[in-house]
């Protein structure tokens, strides 16, 4: 097995962030983009040979940490152990399927922009980004194919801008969506990668994704700073209204009646309503989104009301 790295070593904490040296917000990105591209290439792997895939997984083990199940709280407490096991398995497959849906959608939009003049100084990083996102989609899909019969239908709909906007605003919306998707997924990745109750292959897939996403998040935050500056106050307001809704939709998609039905829970629509309203999940959802909301608020992209949910 190839070493997939430690969860604790993360570029997202800013180890490679360089001082701002020029007035041009896009020119400032080039040094960081170059460093992150080199880091990506130094750690490049053959995704098909990266992990040791067991033939099967234990029949009675969790696949997702109970503490971050969408049913954490009264619903979880009401379940028998076989239902809990089934729920964590269905929820992990749902999480991986959502990750594929989000990445597939966003990769297509990045690919459409990679040759535009605005992104010429960071195009090499964007090529590395696309390569890594394709690897991630394969990893998530391969896990689901081997152990769950394939990806599930998450109900996710394409989420591009719905009105004609300036190019600057459209780009801010796109890369804001990417940052939201990456930071929400990474919140789960870091926790699942470290939970020793889970099968090693589950931990490894999450560990690989976290390692690569730390580079994407480090770059994405700096790119959004530049895009927010270029969009101006009106563009930031338009993008912010969209991104606040997008963040809520992403979180809401985690709560799936189809998942609860697959786990054998009765009245799945009622389960969703109860789960979303539980104090435990309200707290978790606030924690899940807090870092992203705070960052977008600091750039005047979303307002304080949206920042606090």
Q: Structure tokens of 64? A: 């997702």
CA distance 113 to 111: 5
pTM, two decimals, is 0.89
Asked if residue 186 has pLDDT above 90, the reply is yes
Within 10 A of 164 (CB to CB), how many other CB atoms are there? 7
Let me know: does 172 contact 239? Beta carbons within 8 Å.
yes
Q: Which residue has the tokens 């979880």?
A: 76
Asked if residue 154 has pLDDT above 70, the reply is yes
Asked if residue 105 has pLDDT above 70, the reply is yes
Q: Which one is predicted more confidently, 22 or 214?
A: 214
- Please write down the long-range contacts of 163-170, taking CB distance under 8 Å and 24 or more positions apart: 165/235, 165/238, 166/231, 166/235, 167/118, 168/227, 168/230, 168/231, 168/232, 168/235, 169/231, 169/235, 169/238, 169/239
Among residues of the chain, what percentage have pLDDT more than 90?
79
Asked if residue 291 has pLDDT above 60, the reply is yes
CA distance 125 to 120: 10
Of the segments 62-66, 167-171, 212-216, 300-304, which one has the largest average pLDDT value?
62-66
Burial class (CB in 10 A: 0-12, 13-18, 19+), 58: exposed
> Mean pLDDT over residues 206-214, rounded?
95
> Mean pLDDT over residues 20-31, rounded?
68
Mention every residue, 6+ apart, whose C-beta is less than 8 A from residue 37. 124, 125, 128
Asked if residue 15 has pLDDT above 60, the reply is no
Name the pLDDT band for 303 (thresholds 50, 70, 90).
confident
CA distance 13 to 263: 37
Given phi > 0 = left and psi -120 to 50 = alpha, else beta, which region is 204?
alpha
CA distance 9 to 15: 10
Looking at domain 59-151+162-307, what is its CATH homologous superfamily? Ribonucleotide Reductase, subunit A (1.10.620.20)
């Amino acid at each position: 097995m190839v070493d997939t790295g430690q969860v604790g070593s993360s570029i997202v904490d800013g180890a490679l962030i360089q001082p701002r040296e020029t007035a041009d917000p896009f020119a400032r990105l080039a040094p960081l983009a170059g460093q992150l591209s080199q880091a990506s290439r130094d750690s490049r792997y053959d995704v098909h040979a990266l992990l040791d895939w067991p033939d099967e997984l234990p029949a009675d083990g969790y696949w997702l940490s109970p503490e971050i199940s969408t049913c954490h709280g009264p619903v979880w407490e009401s379940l028998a152990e076989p239902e809990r096991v089934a729920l964590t398995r269905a929820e992990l497959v749902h999480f991986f399927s959502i990750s594929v849906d989000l990445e597939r959608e966003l990769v297509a939009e990045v690919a459409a922009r990679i040759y535009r003049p605005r992104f010429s100084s960071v195009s090499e990083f964007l090529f590395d980004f696309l390569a890594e996102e394709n690897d991630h989609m394969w990893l998530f899909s391969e896990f689901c194919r081997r152990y769950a019969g394939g990806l599930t239908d998450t109900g996710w709909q394409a989420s591009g801008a719905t009105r004609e906007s300036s190019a600057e605003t459209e780009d801010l919306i796109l890369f804001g969506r990417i940052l939201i998707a990456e930071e929400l997924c990474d919140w789960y990745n870091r926790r699942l990668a470290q939970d020793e109750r889970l099968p090693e292959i589950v931990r490894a897939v999450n560990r690989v994704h976290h390692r690569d996403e730390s580079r994407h998040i480090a770059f994405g935050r700096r790119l959004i700073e530049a895009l927010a500056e270029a969009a101006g106050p009106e563009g930031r307001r338009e993008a912010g209204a969209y991104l606040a809704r997008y963040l809520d939709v992403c979180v809401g998609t985690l709560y799936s009646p189809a998942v609860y039905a697959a786990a054998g829970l009765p009245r799945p629509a009622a389960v969703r309503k109860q789960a979303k309203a539980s104090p435990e999940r309200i707290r978790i959802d606030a924690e899940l989104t807090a870092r992203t909301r705070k960052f977008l608020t600091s750039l005047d992209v979303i307002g304080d009301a949206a920042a606090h949910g």
